[in-house]
Structure 1
Amino acid sequence: MASLSSSHSAASADSAAQAASTVAADTSAARPGANLTALRDHNAAAVLTLVRAAGAGGVSRVELARGSGLTAQAISKIVQRLLEDGLVAESGRGASTGGKPRTLLTLVPDARWALGVQLGRDALTVLRADLAGRVVDSRHLPIDLAGWGPGPVLDLLAEEVGRQLASVAREQVLGVGVASPGPLDQQAGVLHEVTGAPAWNRFPLRDAVADRLGLAAEIEKDSTAGVLSVLGSPNRAFIHLDHGLGAGLVLGGAVQRGARTNAGEFGHQVLDPAGPRCRCGNQGCLEALWQAAATPDQAARLLGEGVANLVRLLDLDEVVLGGREVADAPETYLAAVREVLDARLPDPSWQRVSLTAAPAGRDAVALGAAGLVLARVFG
């Protein structure tokens, strides 16, 4: 079962937390007491994150105070609210350290649910994740993103979400995160000239999904959602291979989106100006060369050249490969990219780079999208 690990769920929320803080900053001046409310919610999120990180073993109120830096009185009030909301439960007593054994608290994973969606070019992935970031149900449905256009795709999404939530109380659903091909404006929730899919140009995806489903919605570029699905280095990339190439980036522990929230167009770095024309209009893009490769090994080696460029440009120490193409031939891609990295880095023994395949497999991008929603609880 794929999952966001306890420590990762907090890490996977960093981009959504940035968006949430932006919204809070925009509205706090107009709402009396908003800053106090935001502080209270932040403290509750910090405590809940510590409870989740403790796992099944549980954590005491004393340990929560120590880990959060909050007073015992503040912890008592926050824990009481979390108990009343059903998000945590008392789960027995810890070992005695000379005094009265302390009551332990654990997360209640099925107290809330988050939906994660990936809009692929020929497949729709919809999954439901619990508070622990575990995928409890996942489905992959065939679509034609370019040919169908928004209406039929959203109709199918609504039908699948209805199936996912048939046995779930609506008030337990935190919302839905949607990952899509770019370019897109993540802050405005609008797609921009999706390569090869003109029907989606300027489509207000976030608002359309929220209106259709009656749920709070977030959107994210598929590659950025992918990097949020994996616990890892503060300087890492998620390379997404699925009909195209994209990169999700975390640098210095922060998700990188760029000036227009459109960073990560990894496949459109030009490697051969005299090469084949790319769908984006340029010639010799990595994506066009990769798609024209004669064999999987050749495609993997071309990818390795692009990855090596990225590693040297940004000084990354971790790269995760994900998407359907990798899921179909993980060993081919891992071996070829590793070989190119070792050949291209001036001092590979010093510039060590972890290279792995996404542990969530085909669900990685949708799981990262669900992580955006879980960020509303965990901050």
Structure 2
Amino acid sequence: MRRGTNLPAVGGFNQTVILDLIRRSGGGLSRVEIAEQTGLSAPTISNVCRRLLEDGLIVETGKRIQGPGKPRVILELDPKSRFALGVHLDPAVVTYAVLDLHGDVVSHMRRRTPSSGRPAKTVTAMASAIDEVVARSGVDRERLLGLGIAAPGPIDAARGIVVDPPLLEGWQNVPLRDALADATGLPVLLEKDVTAAVVAELWRNSEREDFAFFYLGTGIGVGLALGGEVLRGATGNAGEGGTLVVSGDLPPKRRSDMLGHVATPPLLVAQAIDAGVLADRADPVDEMFAELVAAAEAGDTAATAILDRAARLIASSIVSIVNLLDVAEVVFGGPYWDRVADRFLATIGELVNSSAHRVTRHPVTVSTSSIGADVAAAGAACLVLDTSLSPRTSSLLIST
């Protein structure tokens, strides 16, 4: 819990402290409760709440009897007062989402990623799609706080550049943040996709503070939250889960023993083609992956073997993550996860908790993200919400 300060020069910080507290409360808070939880004086709380009411960020929703004295007026967040845009750039599909202040999706859509290898063409298509998803949402553009972009790494977050993602042809040192800011007129933030997914989980689930996030997209990522904060690493590129070395029943044809070379959806599709489960054709990976899963569900033994082996290899990687970081919860999500969740989740949980290689003895909880396949796009939007509305002690520093 972040506490406020009664110093006169930090009203902006106090405003975010109170707004964040009200947002996380669920059922709203009275001014007395805010004072008890923040340590702020009654005049400070009165002034801040007045500003928040005038800005439309909070509303008075009735009165509540709490002990002796007059009923207390309850303040709640108005989730429709502001909105944020999120875009997830995946090598297969670009996802767009508009979120309200609760982190609920108001409007979303998907478009296939252009395969031309020309980033400028993709940026133009993204800008057009952003206009479309905003129009569909019915949200007044003046109420948009900004645009967040979730992109595959590596990225240069400080300069807003997509550096050289291995699965996006032609994307070397692309200034994506500035290009979309120029095209849309919105403030833009750039984040790595798996990190954005962690941001979404933290924004939507205030009780969840320490967990790993296993991201199954065209590639594989592993994000981490500790103490309610996202671990980004020295350059913002933490989470390259595909480089984890795994052991066990590995596919015979592979570039290496790294997870990203044996268990990503494109490689599982390639394994299915080699096994005769799928025909060798140039259809999009997401469509062929869905066909592979459907074949396994229909009882195809070769398809079942491919997916079961992938689940075991992912479990092996999770054991390494648990041993290294001592996390007790792993959340799974990403564009491809929902298609295999029913098949993978229980198997992975059982293998992790029964593994002879696990050093820690506490049980490890595995779960599927409640946000769904659009978790990275939602996370990109939540990044905007978090940056705009969450308290940061750095704002208390005195500049000269």
SS in 2 for 1:308: helix
SS in 2 for 1:115: strand
Shift of 1:158: 1.5
Q: Indicate the SS of the match to 2:80.
A: helix
Query: For residues 329-368 of structure 1, what are the structure 2 equivalents within 5 Å?
Result: 329-344=340-355, 350-368=361-379
CA displacement at 1:96 relative to structure 2: 5.6
Q: Within the alignment, does 1:289 sit opposite 2:262 as a pair?
A: yes
- 1:347 CA displacement: 6.6
Structure 1 stretches of 5 or more lacking a match?
1-6, 11-34
Which residue in 1 is equivalent to 2:185?
214
Structure 2: distance between partners of 1:217 and 1:104: 34
Partner of 2:237: 262
Q: Distance in 2 between matches of 1:81 and 1:357?
A: 39
Residues 246, 274 of structure 1: CA spacing in aligned structure 2 closer, same or farther, 3 A cutoff?
same
In our comparison, the structure showing a higher alpha carbon Rg is 2
Tell me, yes or no, if structure 1 residue 251 matches structure 2 residue 251. Answer: no
Give the whole-Å Cα distance in 1 for the aligned partners of 2:230 and 2:111: 29
Match of 1:152 in 2: 121
Note if contact 1:274-1:284 (Cα within 8 Å) is conserved in structure 2: no
2:43 equivalent to 1:73 = yes
What are the Cα deviations for residues 231-285 of structure 1, in whole angstroms up to 9, with x where unaligned? Answer: 364331111111211111123443112122111111112336997555xxxx332
- Residue deviations 1:181-231 (CA, integer Å, cap 9, x gap): 111122221112110324211111211121111111111111111112223
What is residue 32 of structure 1 aligned with on the other side? Answer: none
SS at match of 1:116: strand
- Equivalent position of 1:18 in the other structure: none
Instruction: Indicate if the aligned counterparts of 1:179 and 1:366 stay in contact, CA closer than 8 A.
Output: yes
Q: Larger deviation: 87-96 or 217-226?
A: 87-96
Q: Does 1:223 align with 2:235?
A: no
Change in Cα spacing, 1:204 to 1:361, as seen in structure 2 (3 Å) is same
Out of 77, 80, 83, the residue aligned to residue 113 of structure 1 is 83
| Residues 318, 42 of structure 1: alpha-carbon distance in 2 compared, 3 angstrom cutoff | same
CA deviation after TM superposition for structure 1 residue 124, in Å: 1.0
C-alpha distance in 2 between matches for 1:333 and 1:36:
54
CA contact (8 A) 1:233 1:318 kept: no
Deviation at 1:174, TM superposition (A): 0.1
Following TM superposition, by how much is the alpha carbon of 1:137 offset from its aligned partner in structure 2, in angstroms? 1.0
2:128 is matched by which residue type in structure 1? E
Q: CA RMSD in A?
A: 2.5
CA distance in structure 2 between the aligned counterparts of 1:211 and 1:345, rounded to whole angstroms: 54
Q: Deviations for 1:298-334, whole angstroms, at most 9, x for unmatched residues?
A: 1111111111111111111111111232211112111
Structure 2: unaligned runs, 5 residues or longer:
273-305, 392-400
Cα pair 1:176 1:370 within 8 Å, conserved:
yes
The answer (yes or no) to whether the contact 1:275–1:289 under 8 Å persists in 2 is no
Residue number in structure 2 paired with 1:141:
111
Q: Deviations over 1:84-142 (max 9, x none)?
A: 11111111211263322222111111110111111111111111111111111111221
State the partner residue of 2:17.
46
For 1:70 and 1:46, the matched residues in 2 are separated by 10
Contact 2:64–2:72, Cα closer than 8 Å, also in 1: yes
- Structure 2 distance, partners of 1:108, 1:121, is 36
Native 8 Å contact 1:308 1:345 kept in 2: no
Equivalent-residue separation in structure 2 for 1:254 and 1:48 (angstroms): 18
User: In structure 2, how many angstroms separate the alpha carbons of the residues matched to 1:170 and 1:99?
Assistant: 44
Give the structure-1-normalised TM-score: 0.83
Q: Secondary structure at the match of 2:182?
A: helix
Higher relative contact order (CA 8 A, sep 6+): 1
Amino acid in structure 2 at the alignment position of 1:156: A
CA distance, structure 2, for counterparts of residue 360 and residue 345 of structure 1: 32
Hey, what does 2:395 align to over in structure 1? none
Is this contact kept in 1: 2:162–2:175, CA < 8 A? yes
Give the TM-score taking structure 2 as reference length: 0.79
Contact 1:229/1:364 (CA < 8 Å) preserved in 2? yes
- Alpha-carbon distance in structure 1 between the residues aligned to 2:252 and 2:176: 34
2:290 is the counterpart of 1:319: no
SS across alignment from 1:100: coil
Following the alignment from structure 1 to structure 2, what is the Cα–Cα distance between the partners of residues 95 and 345? 55
The whole-number CA distance in structure 2 between the counterparts of 1:276 and 1:309 is: 23
1:166-187 per-residue CA deviation (whole Å, 9 max, x = no partner) reads 3322221100111011111222
Distance 1:36 1:366, change over 3 A: farther
CA distance in 2, matches of 1:242, 1:183: 15
CA spacing shift, 1:337–1:95, aligned 2, 3 Å:
same
Confirm or deny: 8 A CA contact 2:164 2:171 kept in the other structure: yes
Task: Identify the match of residue 177 of structure 1 among 133, 140, 148.
Answer: 148
> Relative to 1, partners in 2 of residues 1:58 and 1:261: Cα closer, same or farther, differing over 3 Å?
closer
1: distance between equivalents of 2:81 and 2:336?
A: 35
- Aligned partners of 1:313, 1:344: CA distance in 2, in Å? 15
Give, as a single letter, the amino acid of the residue that structure 1 aligns with 2:72. R
* Displacement of 1:359: 1.0
Q: Matched residues in 2 for 1:366 and 1:222: separation?
A: 8
User: 1:378 aligns to what?
Assistant: 390
CA drift at 1:350: 3.1
Percent identity over the alignment?
37
Q: What amino acid is the match of 1:364?
A: V
Q: C-alpha separation between the residues in 2 aligned to 1:169 and 1:253?
A: 32
Question: Any conservation in 1 of the 2:219–2:242 contact (CA below 8 Å)?
Answer: yes
